[in-house]
Amino acid sequence: MTDAAELRAAVRDFLAEHDPGGDRLEFLRARFDAGLAWVNYPAGLGGRDAPRELQTVVDAEFAAAGAPDNAPSRNGIGLGMAAPTILRFGTDEQRARYLRPLWTGEEIWCQLFSEPGAGSDLAALATRAVRDGDDWVVEGQKVWTSFAHKAKWAILVARSDPDAPKHKGLSYFVCDMTDPNVEVRPLRQITGEAEFNEVFLNGVRIPDSQRLGEIGQGWQVAMGTLMNERVAIGGGNTGRESGMIGVVAREWRDDPEVRTPGAHDRLLRLWVEAEATRLTGQRLRQQLAVGTPGPEGSAVKLAFSRLNQEISGFELELLGEQGLSYEDWTQRRPETVDFTGRDPGYRYLRAKGNSIEGGTSEVLRNVIAERVLGLPPEIRTDKDVPWKELPR
């Protein structure tokens, strides 16, 4: 088995042959081909079949050498959700085609899951995929799609069998976002920004070779994607006092005027909760090192959402009138999602989306109740009813 010493030596050998100050893209492509992109992936697909936790060893060696990274925040959906789904459910041809340009950031990915009539109940989606020879013809509307205006590819769930119950009639595809029958429109958020979009699929033809998993297996494939998404949002590899608690802690230290005994107690409680959530995320990543994410990822994402909203609200209270200012409401199309950027007003408003994106808090509570705590499931009258017979 590959160990840390072997990986450090491999990075040094690589750097001896490739100038980290040279062409960025060529450097990243070579790093992927050398199996130093994501070390836990198979050989030939950017990895070395090494333990996942050794990725930090490789990243630290490259960072110390001043090497460019692959700007992971620009392709978070691709790296955090599409890649593990392709690795698990894709064919050899699909893995060879998609993973390298995904990792280098040459091809950005988005996620076509949510719909106006099926936001929290993904299995109720109505976008249709109808088989036509070697292709599927897709018609429908998706919403809240981050990066759709920049994406080359999308992971897409569509209904391929309306006669089956809603969870069993879905299939999972890779959709070309540059197809002329894909229409992307910006959606402006409460922050003034337009991070995400609504997407209209107007008779988009998708070759069957771009299907992930078996026909009708879309729900199972999507669940794997969503588990990875919740880990990516709530269980990121962050340091102590990072994120919103770090922002507020710095304000507390820098400005004695904001300090009161009551605020001191609240800050301490929030700090402890933030640290507990961070450490839970670390434990979850260790679980990932030996398998696929479980429902515990839902608990981490739920805790992150609640805590981020509470801390951003506490920041506004702490700053008083200063916290109510808002620098600019001009519509922007940001390159990355930023939970801690700009001013306190922005951070407060942006945090409102945390309990919706990546699975609503209501859905996550159901997942925790049923799959972690073993409580009786909700009564579902539509469980064995053909989707086409359900009221909409």
CA distance 92 to 87: 9
Q: For residue 270, how many C-alpha atoms fall within 13 Å in the half-sphere facing its CB? A: 27
What phi and psi values does residue 73 have, to the nearest 5 degrees?
Answer: -70, -15
Catalytic residue among 229, 241, 257, 389: 229
Residue 345's alpha-carbon distances to 27, 184, 189, 271, 315, in angstroms, are 40, 28, 14, 21, 9
**What is the phi-psi region of residue 365: left when phi exceeds 0, alpha when psi lies from -120 to 50, beta otherwise?**
alpha
Is 229 annotated in the active site?
Answer: yes
List CB contacts of 156: < 8 A, sequence separation 6 or more. 112, 113, 127, 138, 142, 172, 173, 174, 175, 201, 206
CA distance 387 to 187: 29
The answer to whether the Cα torsion of 18, 22, 26, 31 is positive or negative is positive
List CB contacts of 144: < 8 A, sequence separation 6 or more. 114, 119, 187, 196, 198, 356, 357
Q: What DSSP string runs through 86-135?
A: HHHHS-HHHHHHHHHHHHHTSS-EEEE---TT-SS-GGG---EEEEETTE
Q: Known catalytic residues?
A: 229
